[in-house]
Amino acid sequence: MKKFAIAAATATALTLTMANAAFAQTTQATQAPMTLAAGEMTKAKEATSDTWITTKVKADLMTEKGIPGTDIKVETNKGVVSLSSTAAVTDSQKDMAVAIAKKIKGVKAVSADGLKTE
Phi/psi of residue 77, nearest 5 degrees: -140, 110
Q: Centre a 10 Å sphere on the Cβ of residue 18 and count the other Cβ atoms it contains.
A: 10
Domain limits of the chain?
A: 2-114
Give me the pLDDT at residue 67, please: 93
- For 30-83, how does the pLDDT look when each residue is reduced to its tens digit (9 = 90+)? 555 666 566 666 676 777 799 999 999 999 999 999 999 999 999 999 999 999
Phi/psi of residue 83, nearest 5 degrees: -110, 135
pTM: 0.63
Nearest of 85, 76, 82 to residue 53 by alpha carbon: 76
